[in-house]
């Protein structure tokens, strides 16, 4: 069982969100926090159509079980059309029942530097649907934080560490 589940929400094979989620995972390892990554690229992310959980495929049921056992979450959210990407929203539609009253932190990755209000959409969805608390600060990145497919802005790593400390404090998990 993992204390924290990180959800990598991009389906792009060259995803920058995945680089950030991997960096967050390294920060958790440094703090000896048990965690695992659900990468939506590795999941048969079935469309939500309102059926019972038991009628979804094994991947979705296993993802739900992991979300259910975790104490908190770190979201890796690519920005699509100034909001939460479709695949990630679909994942939340199916797994929201596992998150009731838990806590999360958000990493938002966009192309430009003006789509940061998309973070509010994710926080609102989680709060309204499952009373999930989202800690601050969040991490927001855009293309200018990456060079040749690597995260090159050191300020992002610092902010990520502060965000993770805020989440661990919220969860009463000390490193």
Ligand X SMILES: Cc1cc2nc3c(=O)[nH]c(=O)nc-3n(C[C@H](O)[C@H](O)[C@H](O)COP(=O)(O)O)c2cc1C
The residue ranges that bind ligand X (CB under 6 A) are 10, 12, 15-17, 78-82, 109-112, 115
Ordered DSSP codes for 99-163: -TT-EEEEEEE-SSSS-TTHHHHHHHHHHHHH--EE-S--EEE-GGGEETTEE--HHHHHHHHHH
Which residues, 6+ apart, have CB-to-CB distance to 139 below 8 Å? 20, 106, 107, 108, 156, 159, 160, 163
Comparison of 87 and 103: residue with beta carbon closer to ligand X: 87
Comparison of 85 and 104: residue with beta carbon closer to ligand X: 85
Minimum distance from CB of 11 to ligand X (Å)?
7
Minimum distance from CB of 75 to ligand X (Å)?
12
- 122 to 30, 53, 97, 117, 149: CA distances (angstroms): 27, 22, 16, 9, 25
Minimum distance from CB of 74 to ligand X (Å)?
14
Comparison of 20 and 33: residue with beta carbon closer to ligand X: 20
Comparison of 99 and 110: residue with beta carbon closer to ligand X: 110
Comparison of 12 and 29: residue with beta carbon closer to ligand X: 12
Please state, in angstroms and rounded to a whole number, the distance separating the CA atoms of residues 59 and 63. Answer: 6
- 3-state SS, residue 67: helix
Minimum distance from CB of 108 to ligand X (Å)?
9
Minimum distance from CB of 24 to ligand X (Å)?
13
CB atoms within 10 A of CB 32: 9
């Amino acid at each position: 069982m993992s204390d924290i589940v990180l959800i990598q929400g991009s389906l792009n094979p060259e995803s920058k969100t995945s680089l950030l989620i991997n960096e967050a995972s390294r920060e958790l390892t440094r703090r000896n926090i048990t965690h695992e990554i659900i990468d939506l690229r590795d999941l048969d992310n079935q469309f939500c159509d309102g059926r019972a959980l038991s009628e979804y495929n094994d991947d979705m049921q296993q993802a739900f079980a992991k979300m259910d056992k975790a104490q908190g979450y770190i979201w890796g959210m690519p920005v699509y059309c100034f909001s939460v990407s479709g695949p990630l929203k679909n994942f939340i539609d199916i797994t929201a029942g596992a998150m009731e009253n838990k806590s999360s932190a958000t990493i938002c990755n966009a192309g430009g530097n003006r789509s940061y209000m998309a973070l509010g959409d994710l926080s609102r969805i989680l709060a309204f649907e499952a009373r999930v608390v989202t800690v601050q600060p969040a991490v927001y990145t855009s293309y200018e934080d990456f060079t040749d497919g690597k995260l090159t802005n050191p300020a992002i790593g610092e902010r990520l560490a502060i965000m993770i400390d805020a989440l661990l404090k919220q969860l009463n998990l000390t490193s």
